[in-house]
């Protein structure tokens, strides 16, 4: 690989270009605007938010965990049965009964959209 290929992300924008645009945008935001936004944000109460990212490259299939496809034909479904979660219409694999019971308290992202014709590049 050439060095220009190593310095580019999936969409073809180089790191240097990205940093120049980002710094230019940050420089375009005046100090008075930043202070006004900071003062405005101080009046907004934020709730506690937590995020747990479970990235399973090479891990269990989505059919065996959070997306068992209960209505799909048998040759497409995974080996495990699906069980309903605490959210109507959503099913998890039978190997995740505790998570299924508490699904009303968290979110699962079941998709990634990208323009790359390859899973590795589309992951980020």
For the stretch 44-83, pLDDT in tens is 666 767 788 777 777 788 788 888 888 888 888 878 899 9
- Which phi-psi region, left, alpha or beta, contains residue 97 (left: φ > 0; alpha: ψ -120 to 50)? alpha
Contact between 77 and 70 (Cβ < 8 Å): yes
| Whole-number Å distance between alpha carbons of 46 and 49 | 9
Residues 94-120, buried b or exposed e (16+ Cβ, 10 A)?
ebbeebbeebeeeeeeeeeeeeeeeee
Q: Tokens for 59, please give them.
A: 């891990």
- 93 confidence band (pLDDT: 50, 70, 90): very high
- 1 confidence band (pLDDT: 50, 70, 90): very low
pTM as predicted:
0.53
* Cβ-based neighbours of 101, under 8 Å, separated by 6 or more: 85, 86
Give the three-state DSSP class for 45: coil
């Amino acid at each position: 690989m050439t060095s220009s290929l190593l310095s580019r992300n999936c969409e073809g924008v180089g790191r240097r270009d990205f940093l120049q645009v980002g710094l230019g945008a940050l420089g375009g935001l005046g100090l008075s605007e930043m202070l006004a936004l900071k003062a405005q944000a101080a009046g907004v109460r934020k709730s506690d938010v937590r995020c747990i990212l479970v990235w399973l490259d090479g891990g269990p299939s989505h059919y065996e965990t959070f997306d068992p496809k209960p209505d799909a034909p048998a040759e497409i479904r995974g080996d495990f049965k699906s069980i309903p979660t605490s959210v109507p219409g959503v099913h998890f694999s039978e190997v995740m009964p505790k998570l299924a019971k508490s699904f009303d308290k968290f979110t699962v992202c079941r998709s990634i959209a990208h323009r790359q014709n390859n899973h590795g590049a589309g992951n980020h």
